[in-house]
């Protein structure tokens, strides 16, 4: 069992290594893969030193699984080359997510769809993953009709450029701008590029990916906002159901859903916050209350570490499912 990490030197790549260390998977050897400028550098992992190798070298090694976190263009070019030699690719970019012949997987929800013949599997967008983790059990029980979601997304979602811009602004240093405006003491209602319909690509990911993962009949309207938080995405979510619900039952359903931690007690000021989700794999949900403006509608607040369950953890969980269910050789 040989696993390649493509983009091993990046932010998500580092998180993948941390998650792999925490999950005791039956992996015999690793390949750490990055761009040519990083080839030859060393990565310390589980007490061993590994040289970083290039993509062509990694393909020649024919790994069992390749976890990609190297951007859409790299994925489109190289994922099929890995697949051709028998490798199962798990890709973190948006390159394959909406392709009809590619699965979009959140293991707790739809891992059962994976077949041995699926050689390129897409990891959903970070903000989508935490949303559908909460929607899935509620949709099963009550039937989700419409979702309005406003996201409060950390600068780590932009990568190192976003992190560096915030640090520069905190320290009064001029430097490269990841955003059109300062992010310190600011909120920017602009995540990814704008599309012809006036929504951003990030907002449409929430709409389209939710439909693909859960149910095409669910209507989703999103507003995505970048906030000066180092890590962790938050979402204010309004859910209209087909059927009536009971608040205590909603809480019980979520409390008993694997991968979700309920933090919902206003008497003790207990609710999810990104500061306290950092480095954790669960999705946190709270502020659960009925929308008093219309029937069968619920408000809640969802928080998760976007680099963990939103990226690295979900990818490693897919790899674990492949290994445990003998879907890879």
pLDDT values of the chain reduced to their tens digit, one per residue, 329 residues: 999 999 999 999 999 999 999 988 999 999 999 998 999 999 999 989 999 999 999 999 999 999 999 999 999 999 999 999 999 999 999 999 999 999 999 999 999 999 999 999 999 999 999 999 999 999 999 999 999 999 999 999 999 999 999 999 999 999 999 999 999 999 999 999 999 999 999 999 999 999 999 999 999 999 999 999 999 999 999 999 999 999 999 999 999 999 999 999 999 999 999 999 999 999 999 999 999 999 999 999 999 999 999 999 999 999 999 999 999 98
Distance CA 147, CA 128 (A): 12
Q: How many CB atoms lie within 10 A of CB 82?
A: 27
pLDDT score for 116: 97
Beta bridge partners of 265: 270
Classified as helix, coil or strand, 213 is helix
Query: Contact 147/218 with Cβ under 8 angstroms?
Result: yes
Q: Domain limits of the chain?
A: 2-124+311-324, 127-306
Please identify every residue annotated as catalytic: 126, 233
pLDDT score for 290: 98
pLDDT score for 65: 98
CATH 3.30.360.10 given to domain 127-306: yes
Distance CA 306, CA 69 (A): 13
Distance CA 304, CA 272 (A): 9
Cβ neighbours of residue 323 closer than 8 Å, sequence gap 6 or more? 1, 25, 26, 27, 65
Alpha carbon distances (Å) from 36 to 3, 53, 160, 204? 19, 8, 19, 33
pLDDT score for 23: 86
Which of 3.40.50.300, 3.40.50.720, 3.40.30.10, 3.30.565.10 would CATH assign to domain 2-124+311-324?
3.40.50.720
Distance CA 221, CA 230 (A): 26
Nearest to 127 by CA among 152, 148, 155, 98: 152
């Amino acid at each position: 069992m040989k696993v390649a990490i493509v983009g091993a030197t990046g932010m998500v790549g580092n998180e993948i290594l941390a998650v792999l260390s925490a999950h005791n998977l039956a992996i015999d050897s690793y390949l750490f893969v990055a761009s040519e400028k990083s080839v030859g550098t060393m990565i310390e992992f589980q007490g061993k030193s590994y040289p970083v190798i290039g993509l062509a070298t990694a393909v020649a090694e024919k790994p069992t699984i390749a976890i990609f976190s190297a951007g859409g263009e790299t994925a489109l070019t190289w994922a099929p080359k890995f697949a051709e030699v028998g490798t199962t690719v798990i890709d973190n970019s948006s390159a394959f997510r909406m392709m009809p012949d590619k699965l979009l997987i959140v293991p707790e929800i739809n891992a059962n769809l994976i077949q041995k013949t699926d050689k390129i599997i897409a990891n959903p967008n970070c903000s989508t993953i935490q949303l559908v983790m909460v929607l899935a059990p509620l949709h099963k029980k009550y039937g989700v009709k419409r979702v309005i979601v406003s996201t409060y997304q950390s600068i780590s979602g932009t990568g190192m450029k976003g992190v560096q811009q915030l640090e520069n602004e905190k320290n009064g240093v001029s430097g490269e701008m990841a955003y059109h405006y300062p992010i310190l003491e600011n909120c920017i209602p602009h995540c990814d590029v704008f599309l012809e319909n006036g929504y951003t690509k990030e907002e449409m990911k929430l709409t389209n990916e939710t439909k693909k993962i859960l149910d095409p009949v669910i209507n989703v309207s999103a507003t995505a906002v970048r906030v000066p938080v180092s890590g962790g995405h938050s979402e204010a979510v309004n859910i209209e159901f087909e059927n009536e619900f009971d608040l205590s039952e909603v809480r019980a359903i979520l409390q008993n859903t694997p991968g979700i931690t309920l933090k919902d007690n206003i008497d003790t000021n207990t609710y999810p916050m990104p500061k306290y989700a950092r480095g954790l794999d669960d999705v946190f949900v709270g502020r659960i209350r009925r929308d008093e403006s219309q029937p069968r509608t619920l408000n809640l607040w969802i928080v998760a570490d976007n680099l963990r369950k939103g990226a690295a953890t979900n990818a490693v969980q897919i790899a674990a499912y492949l290994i445990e269910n003998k879907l890879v050789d």
